[in-house]
Amino acid sequence: MNYRYLPTTAEDRKEMFEVLGIADISELFEDIPESIRFEGELKVHEALSEPELVKYMGQLAGKNVNAQEYACFLGAGTYDHYIPSVVNHVISRSEFYTAYTPYQPEISQGELQAIFEFQTMICELTAMDVANSSMYDGATALAEAAAMAAGKTKKSKIVVSHAVHPESRAILETYAKGQNLEVIEIGCVNGLTDLKALEAAVDANTAAVLVQYPNFFGGIEDLATIEQIAHGQKGLFIVSSNPLSLGLLKPPGQFNADVVVGDAQPFGIPMSFGGPHCGYFAVKKELMRQIPGRIVGQTKDEQGRRGFVLTLQAREQHIRREKATSNICSNQALNALAASVAMTALGKQGVQESARLNVQKTQYAKRVIAALERYEIVFDSPVFNEFVVKTPVSVGQINKELLAHGIIGGYDLSREYPELANHMLIAVTELRTKEEIDRLAKGLEAASHV
């Protein structure tokens, strides 16, 4: 048994009490009025020994359905991608694992360089000029981008596609309420943003247009047209993008996007039942002084040696809060490192090949599911690694049946889109095999007759 944590002994407690000048731990709570103190014993189980506790927690964990034992076709923002083994090896090193904010460059060159490389690779993927050291996740990155656009343009209207991830839109609404911003949602046609409705909604008071690429349904948005609509009224063009897809798709920067954000989870970050994630935030050069969070820059020391430092921080985030453009004063350094190691291990060709496999396997899955009698592929627009299927019975019923076949089914779209009852969002990544996809099709067919 590996004992990671050693509890205090009776002798340890006795020594602490002597230092504090008390006889019992209850004396530490004398300042709390007796009338509001809890009396008696809490209704919890007796404490377990460490071996008993480890065994018990292992049994609880064993009840979870996981992607190591089941074929996972659930995406909707968190994906089962290949993670090179070197990722966990590097991020588990103590100098990275315990690192926080590298304020002192004299002793933080390794951490600072790792973040600098993350920024560089994000810029290469998105075709943007500057990227920050990371955000908490893709959803908050998108909301921060909208807030930045409002501050930059002095306009109060945010126009967002209904095909943007529902959680991102919810966080955007929360940000907007606190800053008195108006959020207008644009509906969809054939799984893509309704361009006519978008053009009608964008006006001179529009601070930004927000779209997702690929969108929540997996569709590839027409960024060229959307860019013209956004910039036609002098608003900012903000794109939330799956970074892995940019190994194959034309990057938003080449469509003249002002801000590109997203979630780095597809690179080296496990699903972990929903988090933590790592957001990225990239902008044109002229917006770099409005970028939230922190940026790591490259410089030289007195001897002319290359070094890395924090640079262009919006100090009002720390000490002049009334003028703050953001409340983000930190970053996801460890997960950004994981993404950097994964991208480095895959290399440019590896990222491209992984993205290509996502598309090819998704197309195969669409074909075999389309051949099933009672299922329908809903949208015919191009997709990356997700697509929508209309099901003959409720998605909940189908997913229950799929679990019996060793399959984690797709996302029930009716949870966020009531108009899409009996519609499932299926994700197919490079890890899914032909055998697993065929097994999914058989499971769907069996579930339709339950």
- Residue scoring higher pLDDT (2 or 153): 153
Can you say whether the dihedral through the CA atoms of 354, 356, 362, 367 is positive or negative?
negative
Domains, the chain, in order of start with CATH, read 71-83+348-447 (3.90.1150.10), 85-341 (3.40.640.10)
Q: How confident is the model at residue 1 (pLDDT cuts 50, 70, 90)?
A: very low
User: Whole-model pTM?
Assistant: 0.89
Residue 107 has pLDDT above 90, yes or no: no
Residue range 13-31: average pLDDT? 92
Task: Give the model confidence (pLDDT) of 58-77 as tens digits.
Answer: 999 999 999 999 999 999 99
CA contacts within 13 A on the Cβ side of 425 = 26
Q: What is the pLDDT of residue 98?
A: 76
| 272 pLDDT higher than 60 | yes
Q: Angle at the Cα of 167 (from 73 to 331), degrees rounded to 5?
A: 100
Q: pLDDT tens digits, residue range 228-268?
A: 999 999 999 999 999 999 999 999 999 999 999 999 999 99
Give per-residue pLDDT as tens, 390-428: 999 999 999 999 999 999 999 999 999 999 999 999 999
Residues 6+ away with beta carbon under 8 Å from 230 = 202, 206, 208, 209, 236, 237
* For range 89-107, the mean pLDDT: 82
Task: Determine phi and psi for 312, rounding to 5 degrees.
Answer: 55, 35
**Structure token pair of residue 279:** 């957001």
**What pLDDT is recorded for position 88?**
95
DSSP 350-413: HHHHHHHHHHHHHHHHHHHHHTSTT-EE---S-BSSEEEEE-SS-HHHHHHHHHHTTEE--EEG
The single-letter code of the amino acid at 171 is I
Whether residue 3 is predicted with pLDDT greater than 70 in this model: the reply is no
Question: 39 pLDDT exceeds 90?
Answer: no
What is the arithmetic mean of pLDDT over 280-304?
Answer: 92
Please give the average per-residue pLDDT across 55-59, as a whole number.
93
15: three-class secondary structure by DSSP? helix
Tell me the C-alpha to C-alpha distance, in Å, between residue 415 and each of 137, 252, 384, 424.
22, 29, 22, 10
Q: Which of 5-9, 48-52, 328-332, 378-382 has the lowest mean pLDDT?
A: 5-9
Q: What gap in Å lies between CA 379 and CA 387, rounded to an integer?
A: 8
How does pLDDT run across 194-209, given as a tens digit for each residue?
Answer: 999 999 999 999 999 9
As a whole number of angstroms, the distance between CA 198 and CA 209 comes to: 9
Distance CA 449, CA 372 (A): 12
Please give the mean pLDDT across all residues of the chain.
93
Report the b/e string of 320-347 with b at 16+ CB within 10 A: eeeebbbebeebbbbbbbbbbbbbbbbe
- Residue 114 pLDDT exceeds 70: yes
pLDDT at 323: 67
Query: For residue 319, what pLDDT is reported?
Result: 64
Tell me the average pLDDT across 37-45. 88
Q: Please tell me the predicted confidence (pLDDT) of residue 49.
A: 83
- Summarised one tens digit per residue, pLDDT across range 300-317 is 988 999 999 988 765 555
Token code pair at residue 228: 């013209």
Peptide bond just before 33 cis, omega within 30 deg: no
Give the residue from 192, 197, 71, 210 showing the smallest Cα distance to 143. Answer: 210
